[in-house]
Structures are given as C-alpha cells and as structure tokens.
Structure 1
Amino acid sequence: MSLQGKVALVTGAASGIGEQTARVLAAKGAAVVIADLNLANAQKVAADIAAQGGKAFAVSMDVTNENAVNSGIEDSIAKLGGLDVLVSNAGIQIVKPVEDFTLAEWKQMLAIHLDGAFLTTRAALKHMYKSGKGGSIIYMGSVHSHEGSKLKAPYVTAKHGLLGLAKVVAKEGGPRGVRANVVCPGFVRTPLVEKQIPEQAQALGISEADVVKNVMLKDTVDGEFTTVDDIANVVAFLAGFDNNALTGQSIVASHGWFMQ
C-alpha cells in the first residue's frame, strides 16, 4: 500500500482538507499536483512541500471549465510522467433555505461539486486506462452524502450524487485496475465551516455556540470536530489500497456522527 513513485492530483488543494491531503500524500512518497483556482496559494503549498523534501507542483484549475481541466491534467502528466491518484476535492458552500436559493446558486454548487468531479474523472480515466497501470479516484463527499440537513439543498444533492458517480466508475474501471471511493467527512473546522457558523446562527435564530454544539457536533460520540488529518489519512489509505476489495465504497469519518 505504498505511495512511493505514484503521482497524485488533488483539486482544491491550496487550503483546507485538500491542502492537508496533498501534504500527507507527499509525505508518503507521492509526487503531488496542487490544483486550485488560487494559483498563488497553490504555488505556496507546492513550494512548502518541496522545501520539506517532497515533490509537488501547482497548476491553475477551474474544475467547472472543461478546457482548464483537460489542459491542467495533461500538463501534470507531462511534468510528472503519469497520474495514479485523483482526489476530487474542490468545493464551496452556500447556506440558506430552499426557497431562498437562486437558480444560479444551485447551478454553481452542482457545477463545482458534480461537473468538476465528472470532468476531472473523465480526463484522469483516459490516462489511467491508456497507461495500463490503473489507479485510484477518490471523491470528497460528506456525511451529507448520506444525510440531509437544513439550509444545504444543493450541497446535499451534489454530495449524494458523488456516491452514484463513484459506483459507476468502480464498475467500469474495476476490470481495468481503476478503483473509486468516496470519503465522507463530518464537520471539519476549515474556513468553509467557519463561514457557516455565523450564517447558520442567523438563519436558525440561535447563537454561534449553539450551532457548534447542537447542530454540528450534537450527534458525534465525543463532541469533537473531524480534523483535516483524519480525512487526509483516510484518503492516503484508499489511494494506497492496491486491489478492488474496497472499490465503490464510501468511508465516513465523522467521530460517530453518522454510522453506516
């Protein structure tokens, strides 16, 4: 289950879960592509990984843009010699009741989470099939891939959709050595979640402390946030798992919030 000599591309890797995932994959021996809309921050992450003895380079990528995805992955393969692991992690959050969402917001959420997953998967699969070495495709889902929550209609819809995509990729890719999985975090205290705390407090008419205690963490077994390290280590485990035993499965890492 070694990642030595592997090449991994992580979308949304300039911050948060994506950044830590890239760092852990690099520490375990993979050459990592830091793909993000924020090229300057992606370059900083790549430089820091390199300074610590890892191998990484940054690429600008809007995952909703077909040409940007295709060229970014082609450039990565040309620079690093292949692609063995794709971590489709890029995402955003908009919090409001269903009746207040605009169609543009709905489409934006689905485009980033689902169109981005499709476009990066399609580009990665073409190389993985051609190389004959197979690979691992890992989608960043959520407990909301299995659960619903107020104020998150497009997010929950998109995260449910990733389960279906992963299952199809697992069925189609399995005979050709490509595995597909979904990692489903609970609440991780990233900037994305920090932004939600006051938004949910306002929408629900409760304090920010109550949002944390009674909304985000109320069903965990220990009242603890999931950490970026928790998620990065699950991704690394799946990326290095070298047979089809777990393909098509989702793994929930939520401190017991959701149990399958």
Structure 2
Amino acid sequence: MRLQGRTAIVTGAASGIGRRIAERFASEGAKVAIADLNRDAAEAAAVAIRKSGATARAVAMDVADEAAVQAGVNVVLADWGRIDVLVSNAGIQIVHPVEEFSFAEWRRVVGIHLDGAFLLTRACLPSMYANGYGRIIYMGSVHSKTASVLKAPYVAAKHGLMGLARVVAKEGAKKGVTANVVCPGFVLTPLVEKQIPEQAKELHLSEDQVVKTIMLKDTVDGEFTTVDDIAEVALFFAGYPNAALTGQSLIASHGWHME
C-alpha cells in the first residue's frame, strides 16, 4: 500500500482522469478528498470509493475562486488533520483562433488551469511544511511541451505549470515537499470528446479526421492515452520516496511527443 496513512486532495475528481486518480490513490491506502465544482457528482464518486472499503469524502470547490479553494482545503484539514498529496487536475478547454478569443474566455481557461494550481498549492503548503512532507502533482499536458492551433490559453497555462512546479520544487525542498507535472496525450474524457466536433467545425474536417489526422496522428499505435495510464503516473509521483525526481515532468502520450 504505497499511500497508506496519507491524505490527498484531487481536484476535478468527479469524473475522468481525476476520478481514476482518486480511485487509484484510495486503493493504495490514501484518504482521498474528491474536490469538484459538481458537488453531487463528487459525492457519487466518494460513495463509490467508500463502497470499496476505502476512505473518501466530497468537497465542493471552484478552483478559480480563492475563497472556495481555501474553504475546501480547510474542510479536509478539519476532518483529517493534514494534507500529504495534492493533485491539481481540474480543467476546461475552449477552442478558437487567437484573434477570436474573448478576454473572458482567456481568463476562464487560464484561471482554472494555472490560477487554480497556484491557489491550491498556496492553501496546501502550510500543512505540508508543518509535517515535513508533501507531494504536489500538477496535471499538465503534452501541451506543456508543445503547441497546437486553436488552444492559446490552454497551451499558455499548461506551459505555466512547468514553471510553477519548478519553483515549488526549489522552495519546498528543505521542507520535504516535491512538485511534478504529469503530461498526458489525448485521453478520451468528456473534455476531449467535446473538442472533436469543435475542431472539426473550425478546421473543416470530419470528426473521424480530427481523431486520426490531428489527435492521434503522431502516436506510435494510433491509440488514445487512458485514464489508467495517467493514474499510474500520478501514483508514481505521489508515492516516490524522496526528492530525486522533484521538478520533473513525465509525458504519457503513446509516443505523440517524446523527449
């Protein structure tokens, strides 16, 4: 049980990648807080984990709202006394050419991905520092390393997570806190499923062409990355015993992007 006795917050954990990470952490002994904007869906995910015999609770949280983030973290601290692992996973996607993005859309995407990561980190670090232990995992993307058309704020935010992780890795080193970035390729979650018709419309392609000639064109096997793939990477970082890998990122994209 790699996370026995640990407590974790996973954001955007009512569905998709976040839910699978929460389930995987719970199966390895962690108490898991399912933080999500959708309180009912978060509770359903927590109930399912509890039925497996593990410990989980739902926390309503808008990660782009400073007060909501602090309140959610305070709830976990009040219940469990400490936070050992943070997975900042919540995200959205809006696709347009740069010149067609409204500032409100830009701010919404960056606010959830990057501002949310900062707010969560700031809220969780005092507990981690007090206990001399912490594992912070940011959900980046292949777009933390490269760029695609129509995704300017998403790409900018995902690149920003790399810088945030490196600063947190340096600042947290003497207090037992590490920071890492998981960089998935295309995972067939509702977030990606939504993009397929949107990109088909913008690029004047069929949905099948978007999948085959854009999303999966550069993979080695023509396969989507899975939520299980990403959960295993997150677990790897969450359970790593020392600071040897702090500040590093790991790409899981079926070869789409390599370095």
Q: TM-score, normalised by structure 1?
A: 0.98
Tell me the distance in 2 between the aligned counterparts of 1:84 and 1:204: 44
Deviation of the 1:126 alpha carbon: 1.1
1:225-240 matched pairs, under 5 angstroms? 225-240=224-239
Tell me the distance in 1 between the aligned counterparts of 2:130 and 2:72: 18
Partner of 2:83: 83
Give 3-state SS (helix, strand or coil) of 2:56's partner: strand
Deviation of the 1:81 alpha carbon: 2.3
Give 3-state SS (helix, strand or coil) of 1:32's partner: strand
Partner of 2:125: 125
Deviation of the 1:37 alpha carbon: 0.5
Tell me the distance in 2 between the aligned counterparts of 1:136 and 1:102: 35
Deviation of the 1:131 alpha carbon: 2.1
Partner of 2:181: 182
Partner of 2:200: 201
Tell me the distance in 2 between the aligned counterparts of 1:27 and 1:203: 41
Single out whichever of 177-186 and 74-83 deviates more from structure 2. 74-83
Are 2:113 and 1:113 equivalent residues in the alignment? yes
Give aligned pairs, total. 259
Are 2:17 and 1:20 equivalent residues in the alignment? no
Partner of 1:36: 36
Deviation of the 1:209 alpha carbon: 0.4
Tell me the distance in 1 between the aligned counterparts of 2:97 and 2:118: 27
Partner of 1:141: 140
Encode CA deviations 1:121-163: one digit per residue, 9 max, x unaligned: 001111111223x110000000000010000000000000000
Partner of 1:93: 93
Residue identity over aligned pairs, in percent, reads 65
Aligned Cα root-mean-square deviation (Å): 0.8
Give 3-state SS (helix, strand or coil) of 2:14's partner: coil
Tell me the distance in 2 between the aligned counterparts of 1:145 and 1:88: 14
Encode CA deviations 1:43-81: one digit per residue, 9 max, x unaligned: 000000000111000010011111111111011011122
Tell me the distance in 1 between the aligned counterparts of 2:40 and 2:252: 30
Give 3-state SS (helix, strand or coil) of 1:183's partner: strand
Tell me the distance in 2 between the aligned counterparts of 1:210 and 1:55: 43
- Tell me the amino acid that sits aligned with residue 209 of structure 1: D
Partner of 1:74: 74
Give 3-state SS (helix, strand or coil) of 1:114's partner: helix
Tell me the distance in 2 between the aligned counterparts of 1:78 and 1:242: 26
Moved over 6 A (4+): none
Gapped regions of structure 1 (runs ≥ 5): none
- Tell me the amino acid that sits aligned with residue 257 of structure 1: W
Partner of 1:223: 222
Give 3-state SS (helix, strand or coil) of 1:83's partner: coil
Partner of 2:7: 7
Partner of 2:164: 165
Partner of 2:255: 256
Partner of 1:241: 240
Give 3-state SS (helix, strand or coil) of 1:246's partner: coil
Tell me the distance in 2 between the aligned counterparts of 1:226 and 1:197: 15
Encode CA deviations 1:203-246: one digit per residue, 9 max, x unaligned: 00111001000000000000000000000010011000010010
Partner of 2:60: 60
Tell me the distance in 1 between the aligned counterparts of 2:178 and 2:255: 26
